Amino acid sequence: MVTLSEADSKRRLAALGVPMLDERTVDTAAEAAAAATSIGFPVVLKLCGDAIAHKTERGLVRLNLGSADAVDAAGLELLARATPDDGPVQLLVAPMVRGTREFIAGATRDEQFGPCVMLGVGGVLAEAIADVQIRLAPIERVDAEEMIEQLATQKLLDAFRGEPPVDRAALCDVLMGLSALISSDDAVASVDLNPLIVAPADGRPIAVDALVEVNG
Amino acid sequence: MTRSGFDALFDPKGVVVAGASSHPGKFGFVALHNILASGYDGAVAATNREGIEVLGVQSVGDIDDLPADTYDLVFVCTPAAANLDLLRACARKGIRAAFVTSAGYGEAGDDGRAAEAELVALADELGILLAGPNGQGVISTPSRLCAQIVAPYPPAGRIGIASQSGNFVSSFNNLAAATGIGVSRAVSAGNAAAVSIADYLEFYADDPHTAVGLAYLEGVTDGRALFERLRAIAAKKPLVVLKGGATSGGARAAASHTGSLAADDAVFDGMCRQAGIVRAVDVEDAFEAAATFATQPRPKGPRTVVVTTAGGWGVVTADAITRSELELVALPDDLRAAIDEKLPPRWSRNNPIDLAGGETRDTIPEVLDLVAGHADVDAIVYLGLGIQSNQARLMRAGRFYPDHGLERIVAYHERQDARFAEAAAEISQRTGKPILTATELAVADRDNAGPAAVRASERVCYATSQRAVRALEHLWRDARFRTRRGR
């Protein structure tokens, strides 16, 4: 089992209609600073590579960088943290998205039931919250709608603390994209979109991190 | 798997008990007893090595001694070692189904598994439907057949039961007897060596005697195929599933958060939602869901009204509805005005409709009729049945009865409660809307005129309003699933 790089993971999901951030992959800290200037501050900087999963746990993510200098410094630091096991690495620059509400969405293969699509409440806290809905892929749109509707924490889906309701149609699109990916490609073992942040401006879910695991 | 095999299993023209015994503690006696005692009117024969008479049936030493084409089901109580020869002899006599209760098969180590494979292969070659082995038996009320080594024989009805555990068949049948909501077919799948739970449920899906399937599932193998089959079954009729234990899915790759969140039970639960299966949380929930499908019309929406004769019950029931996927609908103005005509002003004037003791002789049937007849109401939970009959019971048992006017008032109370139960059933039928009656008197005093009349109307009298709400929620989810998918 190997993981695709974050950039490759996101490319595959974006092609299936999963909303992704405007983000750039670059090789040097200086290029990262330039990219950040063009995207607009603040940004997130991550070290990514085919062999790197779970960047947060390894401290390979820098949040809320507000200037080109800050990006440059963080870039140098992250590149220095790469280990030989990581293989070729790059820097990923993305806009910093803040949202009160986080979800997790993904796809996996169950030994008994085969490919499944999952939606859960809570981003990094999802495993503790354990409010999840699973369906067997491929799903129909009505199944995606019911996954959202049948989450226990419905209050997070309505207007919340001054933010608009979650855009359910866009969230359905994410689930349909995950279903299409795991159903159409036997090599895909699992997909994590974690977190899926609800944008405070329009309620659309945005995959801030993506991880595709493939057999091989 | 042929249709004729299932017809032979559930509606046999004649049954042979193989391995009948004269000892009333042995399965070979109990099975024959239960068949004879429950009113089966087809031909019954028995085999026994000594050719003894059991319960008035003269047994034969061998299947070969029986006439051909008279029996089509064999109920097998003989030791596993004897069963291959037995099946061959049965095939020669035109027997098309065997229920094998014998143990010593797949549950009994490597040798048992080999014996089971051999039995399955032979049955297949002979064209005999093989139920079991190691199962408790089969019930079919349209044929008044009780071919099982356990009790009870349930009342006739429209619930079709298939269980991976024989004792759950007994549990469901006991609940059928207690509620009066009966069973069409019931089968304990045993080791399910040749015929699986899904096979039985497929038969029920096309069975005109069965309105709803009720299954107990344990270990799931080939979950994907099971999903496809259960989905097709549930598309035809409501299907209630109680699941025990975890799937055989093993450890998952720890690299994926989704994998660790997709625990076995969450996957099974999602599978049920997607297939349109009603998943029950316990044995009572499972039976009552099935019994409710078998007896109530389907709600067209979630809008539920509580009608109660006392406040506290209504409040607690409103809480249960609010926590469910049902809707505690605000009372429409025109309905409130219509009820104002029937009651003194102290009634609650909202949902729950608390009559607050303002009711007179005809109020309850009239209010039920008004509520059920309103276009913005989809279902009713009715509370308070049997209170007056409970007082009547105390009066009847007390030392003042029948004097002081007690005889007359006791009869009046009991007549009224029976009438309310009948009205609830009649109005529900006429309006096509579910009306569920709940009172703990259903279990506290089964002879109370209220619950007794609910049973007589062939509906469930729910022991608590929470259970009524839970059953109604199952009905609503099922109706919503079908509507959303254009069924």
DSSP for B424-435, written as a single string: HHHHHHHHT--E
pLDDT, one tens digit per residue, over A50-75 is: 778 777 778 899 999 999 999 999 99
CB contact under 8 A, A3 and B255: yes
For residue B263, give the chain A residue with the closest CA.
Answer: A110
CB contact under 8 A, A132 and B259: no
Per CB-CB distance under 8 Å, the chain A contacts of B484 are 142, 146
Which residue's entry shows tokens 């038996």? B137
Say how many C-beta atoms besides its own lie within 10 A of residue A120's C-beta.
29
Identify from B257, B264, B473, B485 which residue to disrupt to test chain A contact, counting A C-beta atoms within 10 A and taking the largest count.
B257
Taking the Cβ of residue A21 and every Cβ of chain B, the question of whether any pair is shorter than 8 Å is answered with: no
CB contact under 8 A, B261 and A192: no
How far is the CA of A187 from the CAs of A15, A194, A212, B257, B288, in angstroms? 17, 21, 10, 18, 44
CB contact under 8 A, B224 and A114: yes
Residue B180 CA neighbour count, 13 Å, CB half: 16
Per CB-CB distance under 8 Å, the chain B contacts of A134 are 262, 266-267, 269-271
Q: Where is the domain boundary, A95, A114, A142?
A: A95
Give the gyration radius of chain A's Cα atoms.
17
Q: Where is the domain boundary, A95, A126, A145?
A: A95
Q: Are residues A169 and A111 in the same domain?
A: yes
Q: Say if CB B331 and CB B483 are below 8 A apart.
A: no
Taking the Cβ of residue A51 and every Cβ of chain B, the question of whether any pair is shorter than 8 Å is answered with: no
For residue B271, give the chain A residue with the closest CA.
Answer: A135
Per CB-CB distance under 8 Å, the chain A contacts of B256 are 106, 108, 189-190, 192, 211, 213
pLDDT, one tens digit per residue, over B89-102 is: 999 999 999 999 99
Strands (E) located in chain A: 2-3, 24-26, 43-48, 61-65, 90-95, 102-110, 114-121, 132-136, 188-198, 205-207, 210-214
C-alpha B409 chain-centroid distance: 38
Taking the Cβ of residue A113 and every Cβ of chain B, the question of whether any pair is shorter than 8 Å is answered with: yes
- Calculate mean pLDDT across residues B463-471: 98
The three-state secondary structure class of B282 is: coil
More confident residue, B327 or A5: B327
For residue A53, give the chain B residue with the closest CA.
Answer: B255
- Calculate mean pLDDT across residues B212-220: 91
Q: Are residues A82 and A113 in the same domain?
A: no
Q: Say if CB B83 and CB B55 are below 8 A apart.
A: no
In a domain, A12, yes or no: no
Tell me the backbone φ, ψ of residue B456, rounded to 5 degrees: -65, -30
Q: Are residues A70 and A123 in the same domain?
A: no
CB contacts < 8 A (A, B): 108
Say how many C-beta atoms besides its own lie within 10 A of residue B366's C-beta.
18
User: Crossing angle of helices B449-456/B387-397, nearest 10°?
Assistant: 120
Residue B252 has pLDDT above 60, yes or no: no
State the smallest CA–CA distance between residue A11 and chain B in angstroms.
Answer: 19
Per CB-CB distance under 8 Å, the chain B contacts of A116 are 262, 267, 270
**pLDDT for the residue A125:** 78
CB contact under 8 A, B266 and A132: yes
Residue B251 has pLDDT above 50, yes or no: no
Q: Where is the domain boundary, A48, A76, A95?
A: A95
Domain that holds residue A142: 102-214
Which of B426, B486, B435, B487 shows the shortest CA–CA distance to B465? B435
Q: Say if CB B407 and CB B401 are below 8 A apart.
A: yes
**pLDDT for the residue B158:** 98
Per CB-CB distance under 8 Å, the chain B contacts of A143 are 274
Q: Say if CB B303 and CB B379 are below 8 A apart.
A: yes
Q: Are residues A121 and A33 in the same domain?
A: no
Residue B292 has pLDDT above 90, yes or no: yes
In a domain, A9, yes or no: no
More confident residue, A22 or B385: B385
How far is the CA of B124 from the CAs of A2, B3, B120, in angstroms? 46, 14, 6
pLDDT, one tens digit per residue, over B341-383 is: 999 999 999 999 999 888 889 999 999 999 999 999 999 999 9
More confident residue, B468 or B109: B468
The three-state secondary structure class of B291 is: helix
**pLDDT for the residue A196:** 93
Alpha carbons B487 and B481: distance in angstroms, whole number: 9
pLDDT, one tens digit per residue, over B106-152 is: 988 999 999 999 999 999 999 999 999 999 999 999 999 999 999 99
Q: Where does B341-405 have alpha helices with state H?
A: 363-372, 387-397
Per CB-CB distance under 8 Å, the chain B contacts of A196 are none
Q: Are residues A87 and A117 in the same domain?
A: no
Taking the Cβ of residue A120 and every Cβ of chain B, the question of whether any pair is shorter than 8 Å is answered with: yes
Q: Among B220, B255, B269, select the one facing A213 at the smallest CB separation.
A: B255
How far is the CA of B243 from the CAs of A60, B272, B289, B323, in angstroms? 43, 11, 14, 23
Q: Are residues A140 and A192 in the same domain?
A: yes
Residue B41 CA neighbour count, 13 Å, CB half: 3
Q: Are residues A121 and A182 in the same domain?
A: yes
Residue A39 has pLDDT above 70, yes or no: yes
pLDDT, one tens digit per residue, over A165-178 is: 999 999 999 999 99
Give me the percent of chain B exceeding a pLDDT of 70.
96
User: Which CATH number goes with the domain that contains A130?
Assistant: 3.30.470.20
Q: Say if CB B445 and CB B397 are below 8 A apart.
A: no
Residue A124 has pLDDT above 80, yes or no: no
pLDDT, one tens digit per residue, over B1-59 is: 678 899 999 999 999 999 999 999 999 999 999 999 999 999 999 999 999 999 999 99
Residue A164 has pLDDT above 70, yes or no: yes
In a domain, A1, yes or no: no
Per-position DSSP letters for B405-462, written without gaps between them:
THHHHHHHHHHHHHHHHHHHHHHHHHHT--EEEE-THHHH-TTSHHHHHHHHTT--EE
Sign of CA dihedral B384, B306, B470, B278: positive
When pLDDT is cut at 50, 70 and 90, the band that residue B261 belongs to is low
Per CB-CB distance under 8 Å, the chain A contacts of B270 are 116, 133-136, 147
**pLDDT for the residue B102:** 95
Say how many C-beta atoms besides its own lie within 10 A of residue B156's C-beta.
14
User: Can you list the domains of chain B with their CATH numbers?
Assistant: 1-136 (3.40.50.720), 150-295 (3.40.50.261), 297-484 (3.40.50.261)
pLDDT, one tens digit per residue, over A142-163 is: 999 999 999 999 989 999 888 9
In a domain, A118, yes or no: yes
C-alpha B41 chain-centroid distance: 24
CB contact under 8 A, B261 and A143: no
**pLDDT for the residue B254:** 38
In a domain, A201, yes or no: yes
In a domain, A3, yes or no: no
Q: Are residues A111 and A29 in the same domain?
A: no
| Kind plus residue range of the DSSP H or E element containing B83 | helix B83-92
Tell me the backbone φ, ψ of residue B136, rounded to 5 degrees: -95, -15
Q: Are residues A111 and A205 in the same domain?
A: yes
More confident residue, B266 or B170: B170
For residue A140, give the chain B residue with the closest CA.
Answer: B274
**Domains of chain A: total:** 2
Q: Are residues A30 and A116 in the same domain?
A: no
State the smallest CA–CA distance between residue B70 and chain A in angstroms.
Answer: 44
Q: Say if CB B175 and CB B152 are below 8 A apart.
A: no
User: Crossing angle of helices A168-184/A6-15, nearest 10°?
Assistant: 110
Per CB-CB distance under 8 Å, the chain A contacts of B223 are 110, 112-114
Identify from A112, A141, A153, A186 which residue to disrupt to test chain B contact, counting B C-beta atoms within 10 A and taking the largest count.
A112
Structure tokens at B279: 């998943």
Average pLDDT, chain B: 94
Residue A20 has pLDDT above 60, yes or no: yes
Residue A136 has pLDDT above 90, yes or no: yes
In a domain, A14, yes or no: no
For residue B259, give the chain A residue with the closest CA.
Answer: A108
Q: Say if CB B329 and CB B377 are below 8 A apart.
A: yes
Alpha carbons B24 and B22: distance in angstroms, whole number: 6
User: Which CATH number goes with the domain that contains A91?
Assistant: 3.30.1490.20
Q: Are residues A159 and A210 in the same domain?
A: yes
Structure tokens at B44: 């019954």
Alpha carbons A72 and A30: distance in angstroms, whole number: 6
**pLDDT for the residue B253:** 41
Strand partners, A132: A120
- Is B406 exposed, middle or buried, given 0-12, 13-18 or 19+ CB atoms closer than 10 A? middle
Q: Are residues A75 and A163 in the same domain?
A: no
**What 8-state DSSP symbol labels residue A35?**
H
More confident residue, A90 or B249: A90
Taking the Cβ of residue B256 and every Cβ of chain A, the question of whether any pair is shorter than 8 Å is answered with: yes
Structure tokens at B453: 């009349």
For residue A144, give the chain B residue with the closest CA.
Answer: B274
CB contact under 8 A, A190 and B253: yes
CB contact under 8 A, B253 and A213: yes
State the smallest CA–CA distance between residue A183 and chain B in angstroms.
Answer: 13
**What 8-state DSSP symbol labels residue B70?**
S
When pLDDT is cut at 50, 70 and 90, the band that residue B258 belongs to is low
**pLDDT for the residue A129:** 80
Residue A215 has pLDDT above 90, yes or no: no
Per CB-CB distance under 8 Å, the chain B contacts of A211 are 256
Taking the Cβ of residue A143 and every Cβ of chain B, the question of whether any pair is shorter than 8 Å is answered with: yes
